[in-house]
């Protein structure tokens, strides 16, 4: 069965449209409660949110639906997505619900679920919730209505957990770090973690007003962080997205360090101290330079489809621990069960401190290859990639780049687009070859 509401990362959209309405959230809470109430004894579900204004409205609607289904509710307030995964696991809750649209603007929102183990829901559970949504909503007898309470020490518990993932024999003393929390869910726990580990912290993006989440700040807009690092002559900067599951960094020279480079720094540091288990999982969009750099260290590297769900699948298949995306969504399965921006940042800092090296030096050990991407718009969604003319153009370019680069053609999941990407060691050559394949695609469309 195909899913009507759940995408690769929960349910998301513009507030007031489609499924992102109070009415739907009420029914979703009830449907989820019915599915999770099938376990033994009275079940409880945690609800957390980021800082966007609509979160309060959807929190109330979900709470009412869950109560009507006979499930108890624990409210966490504004908390990073990975914090909700962690607390769901430690409280042995039936599920955790996150109200967030991650790196999107304030006028979007969405819902993500975690199961008892703090992992994303399997497809069969999402399908069960969707099936329940098709039924008429009812309310359990009054003596079985779910109760709600607020978990007062949620933030402190999560801060202590994050600190526990940083080696006890190391300290951040002597480092000046600018931390950009995107006016999002990390605005309180983010700076606290690094400060309690000894760093001098300059926080920015820590004044959420419900409307300014991800607005000209955070990992999607790192320019303000880059400027602040240079202005203060800080050792580095750390940027989270609105819900705290992604992280990017800025070195002391103000240069942005993306997810591929952070993944390499963590992997190479772990190989050095012999704690790296297996290889590394990237995605189809991971820079070819990451693959080459890991190859030079003798570290295996495989690519998953774009999306943290697919990264997780390959990590489990290979029994590996480390994977991630260029966007800064990094998974360290030996530390936690999902992508966690704060925990990932701490792994990078651990590598820096252990080796006594600055971020700029560690990132210099990996050379990102020039990349060109052209989006070719289609008149309608259609299969283009497998057409012989397009395949011939791809094979010609791949032959020319053999051992020096790669080609990727990827249909957009949301628009009638074909993304043509070419990477190689020469920027001008890469741009020309990318244009060559794009021309072939456009010719086929025109024909």
Cα–Cα distance for residue pair 262/359, rounded to 1 Å: 9
Is 54 marked active-site? Answer: no
Task: Write the DSSP string, 192-223.
Answer: HHHHHTT-EEEEES----SS-TTSS-STTSTH
| Backbone phi, psi, residue 62, to 5° | -65, -40
Residue 85 to residue 346: CA distance in whole angstroms: 18
Q: What is the 3-state secondary structure (H, E, C) of 84-152?
A: HHHHHHHCCCCEEEEECCCCCCCCEEEEEEEECCCCECCHHHHHHHHHHHCCCCCCCCHHHCCCEEECC
In the block, residue with structure tokens 């899913």: 3
Contact 109, 100 (CB under 8 A): yes
Q: d(Cα 98, Cα 58) in Å, to the nearest integer?
A: 10
Q: Encode burial over 187-226: b for 16+ CB neighbours within 10 A, e otherwise.
A: bbbbbbbbeebebbbbbbbbebeeebbbbebbbbbbebbb
- Residue 403 CB-half CA count within 13 A: 0
Torsions phi, psi for 150 (to 5 deg) = -95, 135
Q: Which residues of 34-53 are buried (b: 16+ CB within 10 A; e: fewer)?
A: bbbbeeeeebbbbbbbbbbe
Q: Token pair of 142, please? A: 């009054």
To which residue do tokens 């070819």 refer? Answer: 288
C-alpha to C-alpha distances, 233 to 219, 222, 228, 252, nearest whole angstrom: 20, 16, 8, 7
**How far is the C-alpha of 97 from the C-alpha of 85, rounded, in Å?**
9
Q: Which two tokens stand for residue 27?
A: 């029914």
How open is the CA angle 139-142-143, to the nearest 5 degrees? 125
Tokens of 145: 């209505």
Paired sense of beta strands 95-99 and 108-115, if any? antiparallel
The active-site residue, picked from 67, 102, 268, 327, is: 102
What are the Cα distances from residue 109, in Å, to 280, 284, 397? 31, 27, 41
Torsion of CA 213, 214, 219, 222, to 10 degrees: -120
* Catalytic residue list: 102
């Amino acid at each position: 069965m195909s899913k009507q509401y759940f995408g690769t990362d929960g349910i998301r959209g513009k507030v007031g449209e489609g499924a992102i309405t109070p009415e739907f959230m009420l029914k979703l809470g009830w449907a989820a409660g019915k599915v999770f109430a099938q376990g033994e004894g009275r079940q409880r579900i945690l609800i957390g949110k980021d800082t966007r204004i609509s979160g309060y409205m959807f929190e109330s609607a979900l709470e009412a639906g869950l109560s009507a289904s006979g499930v108890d509710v624990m409210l966490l307030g504004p908390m990073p997505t990975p914090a909700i995964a962690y607390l769901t696991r430690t409280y042995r809750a039936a599920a955790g619900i996150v109200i967030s649209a991650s790196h999107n603007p304030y006028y979007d929102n969405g819902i993500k679920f975690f199961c008892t183990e703090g992992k994303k829901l399997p497809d069969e559970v999402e399908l069960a919730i969707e099936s329940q949504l098709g039924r008429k909503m009812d309310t359990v007898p009054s003596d079985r209505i779910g109760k709600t309470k607020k978990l007062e020490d949620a933030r402190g518990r999560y801060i202590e957990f994050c600190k526990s993932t940083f080696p006890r024999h190391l300290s951040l003393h002597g480092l000046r770090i600018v931390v950009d929390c995107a006016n999002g869910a990390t605005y309180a726990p983010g700076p606290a973690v690094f400060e309690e580990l000894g760093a001098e912290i300059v926080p920015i993006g820590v004044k959420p007003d419900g409307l300014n989440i991800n607005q000209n700040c955070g990992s999607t807009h790192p320019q303000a962080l880059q400027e602040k690092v240079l202005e203060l002559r800080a050792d580095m900067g750390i940027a989270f997205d609105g819900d705290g599951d992604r992280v990017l960094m800025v070195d002391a020279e103000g240069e942005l360090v993306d997810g591929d480079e952070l993944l390499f720094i963590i992997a190479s540091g772990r190989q050095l101290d012999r704690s790296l288990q297996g290889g590394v999982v990237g995605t189809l969009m991971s820079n070819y330079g990451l693959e080459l750099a890991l190859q030079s260290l003798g570290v295996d590297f495989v690519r998953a489809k774009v999306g943290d769900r697919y990264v997780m699948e390959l990590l489990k298949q290979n029994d590996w621990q480390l994977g991630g995306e260029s966007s800064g969504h990094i998974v360290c399965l030996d530390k936690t069960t999902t992508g966690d921006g704060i925990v990932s940042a701490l792994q990078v800092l651990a590598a820096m401190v252990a080796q006594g090296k600055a971020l700029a030096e560690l990132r210099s050990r990996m050379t990102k290859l020039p990349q060109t991407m052209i989006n070719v718009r289609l008149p309608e969604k259609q299969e283009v990639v497998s057409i012989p003319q397009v395949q011939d153009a791809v094979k010609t370019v791949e032959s020319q780049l053999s051992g020096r680069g790669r080609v990727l053609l990827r249909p957009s999941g949301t628009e009638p687009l074909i993304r043509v990407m070419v990477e190689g060691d020469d920027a001008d050559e890469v741009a020309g070859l990318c244009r060559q394949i794009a021309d072939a695609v456009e010719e086929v469309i025109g024909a």
